Structure 1
């Protein structure tokens, strides 16, 4: 009986990181149609960060030291202010499913950073082919010359998403060298708190508060924000932390292939987003690239 319960919990946990995280892209798109993007992102991460930070304190985790706060703030700038800030902004111009596919290139940029910057990864023929396939997938989504049906995605939005993916990968690489709170709950809570606060401040010079009228925002947009906070950040993250301790990182990492597919399908069925040959080919190319890269055994450069 205990084995059955454990298996059920694991299946439900995978369902959360597959479906919930994949659906957050559609929730973002619903929200940014009525709430300025940086304000929406600020509310999501500040509130979620406050909850996670409080839960970590209740569990007995120590508050971050000054050195740990400095590291958390730097990562918050890369992940929440730049990465998520650009994602929320870009979803005003780019379909939610395609946005998810573009961010699926994060492992591609992470591998490039390990090869070119850290020099901790060796370039192999397998990686070269995988990187080229990923780049080709992005090119298919952006190209105006390929006659594949469906309009190419907005170039400015696409560039914002590429920069977002790059900054996340850079943060992933830097995390390994930074002094952060040992508690993952406290670490994420601190980063979300800092990121939410900085997003709120960044929205000020951009004039977003002048265009934000809370009473004019529809119930759907507020529900989308609530979903992002509770399901996307709090439930999704805590489920991920639990799952990473019960399953192998390789299995848990499969969310990177599933989330874009979920986002594309939800966008098609619930937001009337185009699902033509262009989107299908671009998505498959990016996902094949990510699959090959994440399943390639690391070959470290000799000292």
Structure 2
């Protein structure tokens, strides 16, 4: 989704080299702040760009840059099977997951979208239980699921009010369905064939997902009457920010952190990103930050924390390597 995939991360053995504290802080700041800010950047980008077309251009551009980067580092081209599997993953993660986000942000504040995206771990646990290894959730996991669903109900219930408008409720439901699509794609990615080089694997998914988003945009009539000359400078800058900082800087910092610290520490971005998105939306875009929103955020994020800890003990993955931009 913008994003990203909330909690899990690949298992990488930390580098024995001791990185400097300054480099660690800069890398964590990139993952926390840049990825948290992509939701607001999406809002600015779609102010004068059609949502699916914007997302398609975004991921095609980011995918092309990552592909060239990977090839310059000696990564081989993906096989036909890897391209096919990457397209399937891109369909779930980018077309379904990110497509829902960009469409819904036409009516739902970016901070609330980020908070709804944080429900991916809830979907992961439910899918693992119903269609995965069949392991029944423990009482603690079940309570975490119930708490998360209560927080979602509390949050989406507020979208029906006059403060947000009637379409916001529909947009909130679409974001939840997008989070489900992201969870399904994350599970599919477990058994898919992917290039060994992480940047090449991500580039394959981005290129396929970006192409699908453009096709959907064309089918939805977004290209009719649209002209690049109509796009504002703010939207162009937001799109450039999503491609360069979200994809290249943020993703590179994420990959580097996986090599020098634990995946559990890196996964903390899942708790920080929604908070960053809420604060930025309030400060820079006049998005409402109500007591209801803050209360729902506390309920949802604490439920995600419970599921992450209990799920890790029970080997129930609650996320996958994100494809963020």
- The normalised TM-score by structure 1 is 0.94
Q: Contact 1:26 / 1:97 at 8 angstroms: preserved in 2?
A: yes
Q: 2:99 aligns with which of 76, 85, 93?
A: 85
Q: Note the 1:262-301 alignment, pairs <5 A.
A: 262-296=276-310, 297-299=312-314
Q: 2:110 aligns with which of 96, 109, 119?
A: 96
Inter-partner Cα distance in structure 2 for 1:256 and 1:285: 14
Q: 1:13 aligns with which of 18, 24, 27?
A: 27
Work out whether 1:115 is the aligned partner of 2:153: no
Q: Contact 1:120 / 1:300 at 8 angstroms: preserved in 2?
A: no
Q: 2:195 aligns with which of 162, 167, 181?
A: 181
Work out whether 1:47 is the aligned partner of 2:74: no
RMSD (Å) for aligned C-alpha atoms: 2.0
Q: How has the CA–CA distance of structure 1 residues 43 and 278 changed in structure 2, closer, same or farther, with 3 Å as cutoff?
A: same
Alignment-derived partner of residue 204 in structure 1: 218
Work out whether 1:239 is the aligned partner of 2:253: yes
3-state SS of the aligned residue for 1:259?
helix
3-state SS of the aligned residue for 1:241?
helix
Alignment-derived partner of residue 12 in structure 2: none
Inter-partner Cα distance in structure 2 for 1:247 and 1:34: 40
Q: Contact 1:106 / 1:165 at 8 angstroms: preserved in 2?
A: yes
Alignment-derived partner of residue 69 in structure 1: 83
Work out whether 1:130 is the aligned partner of 2:144: yes
- The normalised TM-score by structure 2 is 0.87
Q: Contact 2:40 / 2:280 at 8 angstroms: preserved in 1?
A: yes
Q: Contact 1:83 / 1:168 at 8 angstroms: preserved in 2?
A: yes
User: After alignment, is 255-264 or 108-117 more displaced?
Assistant: 108-117
Runs of 4+ in 1 over 2 A off after TM superposition: 119-122, 144-147, 149-153, 297-301
Show structure 2 runs of 5+ residues with no match: 1-16, 317-325
Inter-partner Cα distance in structure 2 for 1:62 and 1:4: 30
Q: How has the CA–CA distance of structure 1 residues 6 and 272 changed in structure 2, closer, same or farther, with 3 Å as cutoff?
A: same
Q: Deviations over 1:187-224 (max 9, x none)?
A: 00111111111111111111001142211211111000
3-state SS of the aligned residue for 1:209?
coil
Q: How has the CA–CA distance of structure 1 residues 133 and 180 changed in structure 2, closer, same or farther, with 3 Å as cutoff?
A: same
Show structure 1 runs of 5+ residues with no match: none
Q: Deviations over 1:69-120 (max 9, x none)?
A: 1100000101111111111000001000000000000111111111111025
Q: Note the 1:144-163 alignment, pairs <5 A.
A: 154-163=168-177
Q: Deviations over 1:17-74 (max 9, x none)?
A: 0000000000001111110000110111000000101111111111111111110000
Q: How has the CA–CA distance of structure 1 residues 124 and 5 changed in structure 2, closer, same or farther, with 3 Å as cutoff?
A: closer
Q: Deviations over 1:215-258 (max 9, x none)?
A: 12111110000000001111111111111111111100000000
